[in-house]
Amino acid sequence: MRTTISHGSLRSFSPSCLLQGLNMSADLQWLIVRKTNCFQMRRDGRNFTTEPYNLSGRAVFRDCGMINGRTVTVENNPKKKGILVGISRRSAVNRPAKRFAMTRLSKGSRRVVKGLRKNLVNTQYRPDQADIAVRRACALIRASKNKPTKAPKRRHHKKN
């Protein structure tokens, strides 16, 4: 099932659409954006980023969602169970509302992981991002499972 879903965090992700529409190389775009963007964070001497389409969270050219034409994201489905897999469309670079195709995967954890890996590796979309996307999907599925709450242990007091 392939649908286009407008997601709140993805709508605010306009810098990539602005940069993709310009006629300059990805390397030049990276030189401009790498030190001056609103998603940049620095912790323990390392550079991190909070871009929506950056699966690893590292601020490197390969993982940058603002620069690369083909990007992948894995997010939690806020309304139902399962996850949302977002893949950017290269044909809709200048149309931010239609740029990302979101697919909902919710048929069980093993089927979700298998379908995600098959989609990314076999179609040669971003095979370098496949393992990272699968890890993120597994973490989201694990976090969304309802954990049973344990009743607090009763302490027995000695009678005097």
What does the pLDDT look like over 131-158, one tens digit per residue?
888 999 988 888 887 777 777 788 777 7
Give the chain's residues under pLDDT 50: 1-14, 16-18
- Asked whether the beta carbons of 123 and 111 are under 8 A apart, the reply is no
- State the total domains in the chain: 1
Please tell me what DSSP assigns to residue 13: -
Residue 40 lies in a domain: yes
Domain span at residue 58 reads: 8-144
Domain contains 159: no
The answer to the question of residue 156 being in a domain is: no
* Amino acid at position 73, single letter: T
What pLDDT is recorded for position 112?
Answer: 87
Residue 153 lies inside a defined structural domain of this protein: no
| Structural domain includes residue 158 | no
Q: How far is CA 88 from CA 9, 44, 109, 120, in A?
A: 14, 32, 24, 12
The CATH number of the domain holding residue 115 is 3.30.390.110
For 111, phi then psi, to 5°, come to -70, -35
> Measuring CA to CA, how many Å separate 149 from each of 31, 104, 109, 158?
50, 28, 22, 28
Residue 110 counted as domain residue: yes
155 within domain boundaries: no
